[in-house]
Amino acid sequence: CGVCLEAVGVWWSLMSIRDALLGVLRCEDFQERLGIARNILSQRLKKLVSEGVLRRREYQQRPRRVEYVLTAKGRDLFPIIATMIEWGGKWGRDDLGKTQKLAFPDTGTVANAQVVDEETGRVIDLSSVLLLETQTGKPVQPTTRRRQ
């Protein structure tokens, strides 16, 4: 969780990843869709490239122009973004009072994002899993901080 947040935890980064998952490739298109200042967008895209979430691909030599393409690491963020869209549709509204949802393009049927175990097909919820330390396989114990 911490590793993911370190790589993509800034709001603009998550929105940029969402748009990249939707097929946005070019800086000007990200900027238009997000309404973000060019310098902020540039910082976010550079960070996502350095984290291996996006890669730069040249599409024009003169003047030099690049587009941003999701890597496998970036595409693996889709379940996280899908779940966030699902949560936002249930609990939130944007500044215009709107929400978003995922739908299957061939039927228009709303897709409901769930976390499912790939091997067993079981829905994963808070009561059905433990958080394990990767190296040791031991359960991670909750930490409490003492107030000083």
Tell me, what's the pLDDT at 53?
A: 94
- Please give the full DSSP string across 6-43, using - where no structure is assigned: HHH-SHHHHHHHHHHHTT--BHHHHHHHHT--HHHHHH
Tens of pLDDT, residue by residue over 108-123, are 999 888 888 889 999 8
- Please give the full DSSP string across 126-143, using - where no structure is assigned: GGG---B-TTT-PBPPP-
Give the whole-angstrom CA distance, residue 121 versus residue 112.
15
8-state DSSP, 45? H
Average pLDDT over residues 117-141: 86
Tens of pLDDT, residue by residue over 23-53, are 999 989 999 988 889 999 999 999 999 999 9
Cβ contacts of 123-129, under 8 Å, gap ≥ 24: none
Average pLDDT over residues 61-72: 93
